[in-house]
Amino acid sequence: MAVQGRRVLLCVGGGIAAYKSCEVARLLVKAGAQVRVALTPAAQRFVTALTFQALTGAAVAADIFSAEQELAAGHVALADWAELAVVAPATANLIARMRIGQGDDAAAAALLAIEPRRWLLAPAMNEKMWASPAVQENVRVLGERGARFVGPAVGEMAERSHVGPGRMSEPAEIFAACSDALAPRDFEAVPVLVTAGPTREMLDPVRFLSNPSSGRMGWAIAEAARDRGARVTLISGPVELARPANVQVVDVVSADDLARAVDSHLDGVRVVVMAAAVADQRPAARAPHKAKKKPGEETLKLVRTPDILEGLGARPQHPLLVGFAAETENVEQNARDKLARKNLDLIVANDVADAFGKDSNRVLVLGKDGARREIEGSKLTVAHAIWDMVRERLPG
């Protein structure tokens, strides 16, 4: 298990969800992690240092001005010690202070001395606070610095009349995110190429053919590869996601754009994961101006777009290839046909009902060597499981 023997600092913010952090600490300790805890003053209005000391068997950092605690578990010592800092709950206030680098309590000061790429934040707040432009801007900036996020979930708030995104993820999900964040660096310096998101095939300057792909699965695959040490190039269609730190992102729009980008970034790549939802057809002609309504029926002529994955599989020498199959029926059989037809090493298949716009995923992974594995969880958890299967098949 990824957390066994690893050093995790749990920073608890001041919100009603703080009680869930006790279970997060318990799950980590049960799995063999070394856990230390830092509490903000507001957190201590909801949970006590004694509770976390009993759960972890270690001193708790609760007062930045305590000489005794500074010697036992000072913020700099905690920062040097921790391999991962989990912030749960990550309140709107704590997120804002993390963005501006304010270190005025034990938890915030420890976080200030830890690289953002070692932060895992579990946001928790009222849904209106979560939706506010200020909070979303802070989340975006922290993500660009390398911070990871788990949740928030959609559900009932402490104010029972409020329901929406903002509820802190459940402890088991936060624990799983810790395991993902502490994954082994078994792809150190391996160059990989990931495609993600939808393509847009323009009808005219303002209309296009596309699909509902959010790009989250492909971006999670890229982030998981980066966290395991890979040199990642991510070629993505139009999405609304914060750019991952330490990943080369190449923006494309159409299937033709994607094909050209893949070809130009393929040199030296050892693994290609084609998670993009590429349009199979495009309009035969693009109108130079916005097309106006016409009386009667209209006919749109479509032509095929390039089959990028099939082209890669047909090359005499090609990287290890992972394809995706989003199906509406006969999921496994259709995936097996695509696996063989396109000469893939692995294919990741799912029903489109489980594919688009969600934070979690449920997939079936098939290998040309006969492997078959069903995976379910957050998209980052699924991504790591896919990379586990790739690692088993990657020479050297």
Which residues make Cβ contacts (< 8 Å) with residue 294, sequence separation at least 6?
Answer: none
Task: Give percent above pLDDT 70 in the chain.
Answer: 94
Residue 353 has pLDDT above 80, yes or no: no
Pair (57, 12) in one structural domain: yes
Task: Give percent above pLDDT 90 in the chain.
Answer: 67
Pair (376, 272) in one structural domain: yes
End-to-end CA distance of the chain: 23
In a domain, 307, yes or no: yes
In a domain, 2, yes or no: no
What is the tens place of the pLDDT at every residue in 67-96?
A: 445 444 566 788 889 999 999 999 999 999
Pair (164, 239) in one structural domain: no
pLDDT at 356: 64
Considering only CA atoms, which of 232, 230, 194 is closest in space to residue 215?
194
Pair (57, 89) in one structural domain: yes
> What range does the domain containing 39 cover?
7-181
Count of beta carbons in the 10 Å neighbourhood of residue 234: 28
Residue 345 has pLDDT above 60, yes or no: yes
CA–CA distance, 395 with 206 (Å, rounded to integer): 46
DSSP 184-238: --TTTT-EEEEEESB--EEEETTEEE-----SHHHHHHHHHHHHTT-EEEEEE-S
pLDDT at 184: 80
Pair (176, 200) in one structural domain: no
- How does DSSP classify residue 118? G
In a domain, 1, yes or no: no
Count of beta carbons in the 10 Å neighbourhood of residue 176: 21
Pair (292, 385) in one structural domain: yes
Q: What is the mean pLDDT of residues 207-235?
A: 93
- Token digits for 177? 């995110």
The neighbouring-strand residues paired with 245 are: none
Pair (201, 232) in one structural domain: yes
CATH of the domain at 54: 3.40.50.1950
Residue 271 has pLDDT above 80, yes or no: yes
In a domain, 132, yes or no: yes
Q: What is the mean pLDDT of residues 292-318?
A: 90
pLDDT at 100: 95
Average pLDDT of the chain is 90
- Token digits for 306? 């390039």
Report pTM. 0.70
Pair (200, 232) in one structural domain: yes
CATH of the domain at 352: 3.40.50.10300
Say which residue, 275 or 327, is predicted with more confidence: 275
In a domain, 74, yes or no: yes
In a domain, 50, yes or no: yes
In a domain, 186, yes or no: no
What is the tens place of the pLDDT at every residue in 128-187?
A: 999 999 999 999 999 989 899 998 988 776 656 566 788 899 999 999 889 888 888 899
Residue 357 has pLDDT above 70, yes or no: no
At which of 126, 147, 181 does a domain end? 181
Considering only CA atoms, which of 357, 373, 356 is closest in space to residue 365?
373
At which of 135, 155, 181 does a domain end? 181
In a domain, 301, yes or no: yes
Considering only CA atoms, which of 194, 201, 238, 198 is closest in space to residue 219?
194
pLDDT at 49: 93
Which residues make Cβ contacts (< 8 Å) with residue 385, sequence separation at least 6?
Answer: 365, 373, 375, 377
pLDDT at 180: 82
pLDDT at 71: 43
DSSP 248-283: EEEE--SHHHHHHHHHHT-TT--EEEE--B--SEEE
Pair (273, 309) in one structural domain: yes
pLDDT at 378: 82
Q: Based on the structure, what is the number of domains in the chain?
A: 2
pLDDT at 74: 62
At which of 181, 199, 218 does a domain end? 181
Pair (142, 257) in one structural domain: no
Q: Is 267 exposed, middle or buried (0-12, 13-18, 19+ CB in 10 A)?
A: exposed
Pair (138, 207) in one structural domain: no
Pair (124, 217) in one structural domain: no
CA–CA distance, 5 with 232 (Å, rounded to integer): 28
Judge contact between 35 and 29, C-beta under 8 A. Answer: yes
pLDDT at 298: 83
Which residue bears the tokens 């920062």?
Answer: 79
pLDDT at 354: 60
What is the tens place of the pLDDT at every residue in 13-72?
A: 999 999 999 999 999 999 889 999 999 999 999 999 999 999 999 999 988 776 445 444
- Token digits for 12? 């608890």
CA–CA distance, 49 with 47 (Å, rounded to integer): 7
Q: So which residues are the catalytic ones? A: 211
